[in-house]
Structure 1
Amino acid sequence: MRQRSSDCLAELKYYSLVTPFRSIAIFYHVATLNSVSAAAQQLNVTPSAISQQIRVLEEQLGSTLVAKVGRKIKLTEAGERYYELISQQVEDIIRSTEMMRGNKTSTLLTIRATPTVSTKWILPRLPRFFDVNPQIDIRLDGSNEPTDFNRDLVDIEIRHGAGRWPGLHVEQLVEERFLPVCSPALASAHSLSATDILQHRLIHSVKAQIQWKSWFAHQGVTHDIPSKRLFFDRSHMVVDAAVLGMGIALESNLMMERELKDGRLVVAVANPPEMRIATQWIVCPYTHLRRTRVKRFIEWIKREAQIWYNEDRSLID
């Protein structure tokens, strides 16, 4: 047993001297996945081999890179700094190696968002993402279920809600404006008063954070429950029903961007109230922010959000 341990140690020292990239690459996978066991599974080696290579790298650098916190691991301050310094270079080497082997060079980014945000806002913009990130493949998961990042293989989520999710990185994507809209076949733009709207069927988005009751109260209009109502639990169905002339909807300008641009929907009242709220948030574990594909997506979607905001402001105002 001693001889075997001695042989393993000698082999480990050999690799650390001849091919230090082995230890660097293993550290990169551990830091990216935030797990020794996950890195071992991905690299098809044992967790003990992973730990050995981390120790070799720490000895070479003279710094502790990874610390145990209960059953989990956490990068030290030195580990975070080292990861920032090497991650781009390691990814470049991995891509170059795959190219030489004749394999497809790509990285999969899994995004979760509600079906409406996925289809009406993210999907039309993806060609621009691929223009600047051709090496990243996308899996777009349209779901209303919040991500369990400990279980689900999701890199980042655009989550609907109030923005209060402790323990996660949460960043506002956009501030939305809720507007009463309808098909121009039902009423021309800016032609109705708040009381006029009560004569039409009201389309309700039951999960929206601003409801018709609040909108009318903001306008100083008190009313009984209208006799004609239509309810949906998906914003894209609300938008589609309004386009079909089924009534007047109160919906976020984010969700009906294309319909407002091409004139299939118009704002029904003149000078609509400024009812703005942030309901869409960039959400992921803090450790995912170290992933290059996540960083690139966040940078890109924030630019897209700013472009959208500027275009939408000129369209509505």
Structure 2
Amino acid sequence: SVARDVSGGAFRPRLIVSVPPSMAMGWLSERIAGFIAGHGAADISLRGDDDPVPFDRELIDIRLSYGPHYREHPTQEIVRDAVYPVCARGIAGAIESDNLAGLPLIHTDWGPAGASFPSWRNWFETAGIEPGRAVKRGLSANSSRAALDLAMSGLGVALAQGIYCAQALENGRLMRPVARSLELRQPYCLTIPERSAKRDVVAVFREWLIEECLRAIRSPALGAR
């Protein structure tokens, strides 16, 4: 059985999971205990990697990516996320209507691989707002996780993916000061090499990971887009 494969006796299946760095630092690492509690012990190697990843050299079993990067391996689109302006409750009172230009903004520098991620400039253009110099000022971080931490510290408004900010919105650490969101241009994708696809532990982790991603992105705290 799958349960016996994952938890049976002295045999502990090994699983190498690769995800974007921000997902490894917090989002997925906080949830791994839930997988083990539900499915039994496994030797899981959790890697935070930028694309492209060396599947065969590192024997990676599962890779979650933003966008379809791996045509040479079976790849499945999971869901398309959006970014949401989020901030700590303490600074939300200064917001008038949909205009965030008067508040400190937290920027995420996605790097060369993240050129398709939306910026604050994109958000203001979509909202039909002229932000002036606001889009050039404020704190900047080179990871989604770090930008979210800065927002939770009350230092400004960040544009955060729903998958990362849903839990903090649910527990009140963050709030959405305005309703407008901006859909990401590419979906999250799951890639599993054929050498790994037939392993029971891979199949179980795949289903669990998809469920966790969908639960976050479909959180009622994010509302309808």
**TM-score where L is the length of structure 2:** 0.83
Measure, in 2, the Cα distance between the counterparts of 1:105 and 1:252: 38
Shift of 1:288: 2.1
Measure, in 2, the Cα distance between the counterparts of 1:145 and 1:274: 23
Measure, in 2, the Cα distance between the counterparts of 1:225 and 1:123: 37
2:162 matched to 1:253? yes
Q: Secondary structure at 1:231's aligned position in 2?
A: strand
**1:295 alignment counterpart:** 203
Q: Secondary structure at 1:254's aligned position in 2?
A: helix
**1:228 alignment counterpart:** 137
**1:21 alignment counterpart:** none
Q: Secondary structure at 1:141's aligned position in 2?
A: strand
**2:194 alignment counterpart:** 286
Measure, in 2, the Cα distance between the counterparts of 1:192 and 1:137: 50
Q: Secondary structure at 2:33's aligned position in 1?
A: helix
Q: Does the CA contact (< 8 Å) of 2:106 and 2:147 recur in 1?
A: yes
Compared with structure 1, are the counterparts of its residues 257 and 119 closer, same or farther at alpha carbon in structure 2 (3 Å cutoff)? farther
Measure, in 2, the Cα distance between the counterparts of 1:283 and 1:106: 23
**Letter in structure 2 aligned against 1:193:** S
Measure, in 2, the Cα distance between the counterparts of 1:152 and 1:308: 29
Listed one character per residue, the Cα deviations across residues 245-296 of structure 1 (whole Å, up to 9, x for unaligned) are 2111111111123321221211111x31453554432123233212222111
Query: Which runs of at least 4 in structure 1 moved beyond 4 Å after TM superposition?
Result: 276-279
Q: Secondary structure at 1:138's aligned position in 2?
A: strand
Question: Which has a greater percent of helix?
Answer: 1
**1:265 alignment counterpart:** 174
Measure, in 1, the Cα distance between the counterparts of 2:56 and 2:149: 35
- Sequence identity of aligned pairs in percent? 23
Measure, in 2, the Cα distance between the counterparts of 1:114 and 1:309: 16
Structure 2: 5+ residue runs without aligned partners? none
2:149 matched to 1:240? yes
Listed one character per residue, the Cα deviations across residues 153-203 of structure 1 (whole Å, up to 9, x for unaligned) are 32111123x2242212222233212111111111149x54333x1112211
**Letter in structure 2 aligned against 1:222:** E
2:81 matched to 1:176? yes
**1:215 alignment counterpart:** 123
**Letter in structure 2 aligned against 1:206:** D
- Aligned alpha-carbon RMSD (Å): 2.6
Q: Does the CA contact (< 8 Å) of 1:174 and 1:278 recur in 2?
A: no
Measure, in 2, the Cα distance between the counterparts of 1:154 and 1:192: 48
Q: Which of 103, 110, 123 is the aligned partner of 1:200? A: 103
Q: Does the CA contact (< 8 Å) of 1:200 and 1:228 recur in 2?
A: no
Structure 1: 5+ residue runs without aligned partners? 1-87
- Map 1:53-92; keep pairs closer than 5 Å: none
2:215 matched to 1:307? yes
**Letter in structure 1 aligned against 2:59:** L
Compared with structure 1, are the counterparts of its residues 192 and 116 closer, same or farther at alpha carbon in structure 2 (3 Å cutoff)? farther
2:25 matched to 1:116? no
**Letter in structure 2 aligned against 1:240:** D
**Letter in structure 2 aligned against 1:167:** E
Compared with structure 1, are the counterparts of its residues 274 and 203 closer, same or farther at alpha carbon in structure 2 (3 Å cutoff)? closer
Q: Does the CA contact (< 8 Å) of 1:120 and 1:255 recur in 2?
A: no
Measure, in 1, the Cα distance between the counterparts of 2:25 and 2:65: 14
Shift of 1:306: 3.1
Q: Secondary structure at 2:215's aligned position in 1?
A: helix
Per mean C-alpha deviation after superposition, the further-off stretch among 138-147 and 211-220 is 138-147
**2:35 alignment counterpart:** 129
